[in-house]
């Protein structure tokens, strides 16, 4: 996503500085306003349950004014040190081309050090405009001994990937727990006014709200997203004003608790019980990671402005007001938030709190979809259906399988626990683990990306790692009281991710070891030793070099292939987005007379591969552009656009000079033209026409007819090759895909056999097939069965 698409001002400065700054601040305030509904919903709803969870354990024996002052002091400094100092001032600066989150940090590390575990990476990827950001270290920087040590050991790189995936699994757990605790805490406010309302009824109402929330996910949030920011802003103003009122009305001396001295008094008095209560204090910062994770939709300055100007003061006032209220109403700690609301405004605040809880849940669910999509791009998650829900807002996606899994798990947690204290124990562990993973990755970013002294990284890790470690140690003690839920979810998802990554990588290594040598291809001659039939054959492979074994397997059993062969590789690159102009890499395999090409299509970890019904047209134009570029390159000594390694060229979609002209043609004329040149019999042609009538998706395809440009200066060989390409395109395009069966070798260990033959095979059978994931039309699909012994 470009800065312009996110709303950042990138245009040149107008003549008047006054107009420039006016427009700048207008867009800045607009982005800051929009960030409230997406970024801060989770963080803003924390006051619903923080004090209740803090005093739910052994701290019940210390319910007095001094302890409440100490609890507020802990909340204030925790909220100041972690969200404000760590995220707002430091972590937001570590963006990856405007993107944030743990995957952004991992991506930065993989590009500035050889940590990546992605297969099929190549030197040409480093030439992407989004690969290195101005101001960051480049690959030309000298390598330190520490960097060489980490790059040398594969186990360390694997451990780093597992840490990132563990953090991702905790975010998925957050997607289960946030809706449960937010909605249940909000609905439980009914019991304050309707005291006869049982817990079972509250749980039932919460479940109905949750089912409705997940059921509406497939519509996307863009239709109601404009309501999110006003709801959160109204909610923040409400709790801020109520907090100020409670402070003045109940105990104005509460402001003294801002002094760290009260934290020391708190721990001296409560001892171990106070340390155990940190799990409740921790809930005041849940949702802080969203400031960094959702950076891609906004800008760092807009998120900072929103936090400093509204979030921080309103939240501090609310926690201060609740503490002031509790010093005079200690017995009402279980209903501290709703009890502190003045009676005349109770019901309006209750309605706003319910809406705010729904907004917070919606934001976390959307973030979970994004995390799964990024795991999918890393090759660490089974193929699932990714739906782009908005034409205008880039990055809004919906994953049906994950949505229903989250709903079942969320309902199970809500019905199983029925208590926000137990859910809070689980919620706290999930959030603090994600924060701790971010701190560890940030320390590496400071060293390898920012090229700062190791001392700065150590200071960062010691300061924030100590605080987060204290909270983590307190939360782990509560594993038996609900804290086991995120750990169990993370364990299950980690097994799924590891099994899928291991099986996929083993399959790729088998392809590399068994690829067909170029010497064998050259010995076959231009006809490849087979019959060359009209049309274009697209052979899908994960290899970026060489010819896959699927090709030899196919021609061995069916000695016929298309007159134009294109080996297509769709791969992920460790960058958030690949510009469309740099997406296609085209090269040639063998001599010109063989009519064999290689096409590598590159996507970033946040790119959405939308259904592109013009892929064939783009591919033909890209190959034609490559042929034209290759001819020009042969006349000159060198060309900056052609990669020497593998002789691959970056084919830009703008300003083409391919020698071909694409015109929209009448479907009937095109079909007649294709039938005249096709080798298909009348029976096959009638079957194809019948299939097209029964497939509504094919009707949406734009019918394009290619013609040679009328140029007298075109090289005869280029004209001949382009004519053959146009003729093959009109004859039809076939997609050749491997239908692989992965099995463990006979001499493999029992664990390897179980992982491959049982776990990996189960995941492959129950996930989307590669043909569906790549949007390949079934009428043109040819699957070649192969057994992979890994």
Q: What is the DSSP string of 190-218?
A: HHHHSTT--HHHHHHHHHHHHHHHHHTGG
pLDDT of res. 678:
47
Q: Mean pLDDT, the chain, as a whole number? A: 84
pLDDT above 70 coverage of the chain, percent:
86
pLDDT of res. 1:
44
pLDDT of res. 654:
59
> What is the per-residue pLDDT across 328-353, written as a single tens digit (0 to 9) for each?
999 888 889 999 999 999 999 999 99
Distance CA 42, CA 27 (A): 24
Distance CA 401, CA 212 (A): 17
User: φ, ψ for residue 19 (rounded to 5)?
Assistant: -65, -40
pLDDT band at 700 (very low <50, low <70, confident <90, very high): very low
End-to-end CA distance of the chain: 38
pLDDT top residue among 262 and 13 = 262
> What is the per-residue pLDDT across 462-489, written as a single tens digit (0 to 9) for each?
999 999 999 999 999 989 988 999 999 9
pLDDT top residue among 519 and 680 = 519
Strand order in the sheet with 584-588: 642-643, 648-651, 584-588, 596-603, 560-572, 531-540, 733-743, 781-789
> What is the per-residue pLDDT across 222-239, written as a single tens digit (0 to 9) for each?
666 678 889 999 999 999
pLDDT of res. 591:
86
pLDDT of res. 3:
45
Q: Would you list the domain boundaries of the chain?
A: 37-112+164-481, 502-634+647-657+704-789
Is pLDDT of 655 > 70?
Answer: no
- The DSSP call for residue 547 is B
Q: Which of 680, 726, 733 is nearest to 568 (CA)?
A: 733
> What is the per-residue pLDDT across 34-49, written as a single tens digit (0 to 9) for each?
889 888 989 999 999 9
State the number of CA atoms in the 13 A half-sphere of 628 facing the CB.
22
Distance CA 703, CA 614 (A): 9
pLDDT of res. 8:
43
pLDDT band at 614 (very low <50, low <70, confident <90, very high): confident
Residues 6+ apart with CB under 8 A from 748: 756
Q: Which of 483, 241, 212 is nearest to 342 (CA)?
A: 241
pLDDT of res. 9:
43
pLDDT band at 458 (very low <50, low <70, confident <90, very high): very high
Count helices and strands (H / E) in the chain. 33, 12
DSSP-derived 3-state class of residue 119: coil
**In which element (H, E) is residue 352 found?**
helix 346-377
pLDDT band at 644 (very low <50, low <70, confident <90, very high): very low
pLDDT band at 459 (very low <50, low <70, confident <90, very high): very high
**In which element (H, E) is residue 591 found?**
none
pLDDT top residue among 165 and 659 = 165
pLDDT of res. 348:
94
| 37-112+164-481: CATH topology | Amino acid/polyamine transporter I (1.20.1740)
Is pLDDT of 255 > 50?
Answer: yes
pLDDT of res. 299:
86
pLDDT above 90 coverage of the chain, percent:
36
pLDDT band at 2 (very low <50, low <70, confident <90, very high): very low
Integer CA distances (angstroms), 373 to 226, 381, 385, 408, in order: 24, 8, 10, 20
pLDDT of res. 395:
61
Please give the biggest Cα pair distance in the chain: 94
Distance CA 514, CA 655 (A): 39
> What is the per-residue pLDDT across 262-321, written as a single tens digit (0 to 9) for each?
999 999 999 999 998 999 999 999 989 888 988 877 889 999 999 999 999 999 999 999
Distance CA 574, CA 605 (A): 6
Q: Which of 213, 557, 174, 144 is nearest to 354 (CA)?
A: 213
pLDDT of res. 672:
46
Q: In this structure, are strands 387-388 and 397-398 parallel, antiparallel, or unpaired?
A: antiparallel
Beta strands in 506-595 (DSSP E): 531-540, 560-572, 584-588
- The DSSP call for residue 516 is B
pLDDT of res. 645:
40
At which residue do the structure tokens 């990055």 appear?
A: 395
**What pTM was computed for the model?**
0.86
pLDDT top residue among 680 and 788 = 788
* Mean pLDDT of the region 164-185: 92
With contact defined as beta carbons under 8 Å apart, do 501 and 176 qualify?
A: no
């Amino acid at each position: 996503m470009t800065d312009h698409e996110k709303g950042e001002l990138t245009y040149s400065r107008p003549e008047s500085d006054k107009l420039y700054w006016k427009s700048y601040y207008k867009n800045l305030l607009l982005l800051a306003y929009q960030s409230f509904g997406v970024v801060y919903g989770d963080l803003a709803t924390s006051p619903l349950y923080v004090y209740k969870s803090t005093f739910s354990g052994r701290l019940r024996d210390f319910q007095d004014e001094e302890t409440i002052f100490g609890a507020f002091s802990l909340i204030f400094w925790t909220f100041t040190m972690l969200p404000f100092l760590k995220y707002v001032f430091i972590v937001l600066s570590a963006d990856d081309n405007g993107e944030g989150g743990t995957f952004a940090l991992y991506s930065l590390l993989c590009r500035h050090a050889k940590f990546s575990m992605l297969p099929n990476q190549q030197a040409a990827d480093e030439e992407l405009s989004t690969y290195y950001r101005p101001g960051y270290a480049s690959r030309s920087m000298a390598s330190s001994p520490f960097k060489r040590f980490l790059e040398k050991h594969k186990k360390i790189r694997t451990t780093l990937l597992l840490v990132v995936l563990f953090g991702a699994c905790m975010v998925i757990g957050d997607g289960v727990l946030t809706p449960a605790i937010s909605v249940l805490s909000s609905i439980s406010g009914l019991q304050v006014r309707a005291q006869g309302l049982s817990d079972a009824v509250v749980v039932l109402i919460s479940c109905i709200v949750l089912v409705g929330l997940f059921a509406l996910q497939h519509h996307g949030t863009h239709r109601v997203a404009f309501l999110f920011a006003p709801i959160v802003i109204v909610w923040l103003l409400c709790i801020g004003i109520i907090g100020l009122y409670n402070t003045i009305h109940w105990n104005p001396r509460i402001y003294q608790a801002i002094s760290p001295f009260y934290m020391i008094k708190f721990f001296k008095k409560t001892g171990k019980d106070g340390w155990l209560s940190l799990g409740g204090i921790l809930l005041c910062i849940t949702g802080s990671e969203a400031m960094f994770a959702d950076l891609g939709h906004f800008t760092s300055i807009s998120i900072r402005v929103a936090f400093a100007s509204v979030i921080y003061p309103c939240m501090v006032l609310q926690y201060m007001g609740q503490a002031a209220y509790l010093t005079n109403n200690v017995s009402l700690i279980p209903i501290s938030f709703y009890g502190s609301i003045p009676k005349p405004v109770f019901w309006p605040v209750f309605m706003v709190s319910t809406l705010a809880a729904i907004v917070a849940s919606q934001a976390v669910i959307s973030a979970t979809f994004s995390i799964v999509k990024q795991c999918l791009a890393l090759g660490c998650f089974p193929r699932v259906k990714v739906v782009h829900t908005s034409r205008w807002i880039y990055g809004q996606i919906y994953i049906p399988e994950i949505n229903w899994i989250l709903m079942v798990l969320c309902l199970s947690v809500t019905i199983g626990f029925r208590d926000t204290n137990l859910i809070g124990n689980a919620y706290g562990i999930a959030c603090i683990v994600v924060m701790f993973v971010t701190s560890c990755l940030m320390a590496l970013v400071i060293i390898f990306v920012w090229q700062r002294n190791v001392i700065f990284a150590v200071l960062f890790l010691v300061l924030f790692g100590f605080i987060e470690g204290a909270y983590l140690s307190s939360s782990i003690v509560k594993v038996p009281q609900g804290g086991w839920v995120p750990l169990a979810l993370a364990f299950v998802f980690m097994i799924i991710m590891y099994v899928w990554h291991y099986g996929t990588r083993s399959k790729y290594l088998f392809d590399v070891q068994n690829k067909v040598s170029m010497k064998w291809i050259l010995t076959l001659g231009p006809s490849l030793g087979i019959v060359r039939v009209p049309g274009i054959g697209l052979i899908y492979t994960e290899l970026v070099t060489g010819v896959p074994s699927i090709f030899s397997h196919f021609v061995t059993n069916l000695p016929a292939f298309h007159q134009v062969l294109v080996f297509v590789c769709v791969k992920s690159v460790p960058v958030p987005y690949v510009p469309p102009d740099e997406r296609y890499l085209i090269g040639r395999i063998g001599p010109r007379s063989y009519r064999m090409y290689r096409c590598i299509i590159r996507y970033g970890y946040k790119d959405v591969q939308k259904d592109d019904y013009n892929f064939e047209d783009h591919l033909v134009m890209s190959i034609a552009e490559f042929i034209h570029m290759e001819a020009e390159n042969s006349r000159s000594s060198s060309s900056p656009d052609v990669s020497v390694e593998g002789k691959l060229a970056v084919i830009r979609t703008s300003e083409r000079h391919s020698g071909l002209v694409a015109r929209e043609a009448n479907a009937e004329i095109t079909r007649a033209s294709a039938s005249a040149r096709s080798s298909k019999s009348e029976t096959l042609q009638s079957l194809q026409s019948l299939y097209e009538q029964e497939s509504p998706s094919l009707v949406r395809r734009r019918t394009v007819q290619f013609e040679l440009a009328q140029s007298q200066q075109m090289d005869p060989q280029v004209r001949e090759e382009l004519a053959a390409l146009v003729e093959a395109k009109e004859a039809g395009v076939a997609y050749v895909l491997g239908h692989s069966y992965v099995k463990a070798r006979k001499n493999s260990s029992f664990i390897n056999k179980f992982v491959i033959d049982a776990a990996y095979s189960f995941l492959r059978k129950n996930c989307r097939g590669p043909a569906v994931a790549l949007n390949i039309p079934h009428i043109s699909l040819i699957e070649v069965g192969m057994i992979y012994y890994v």
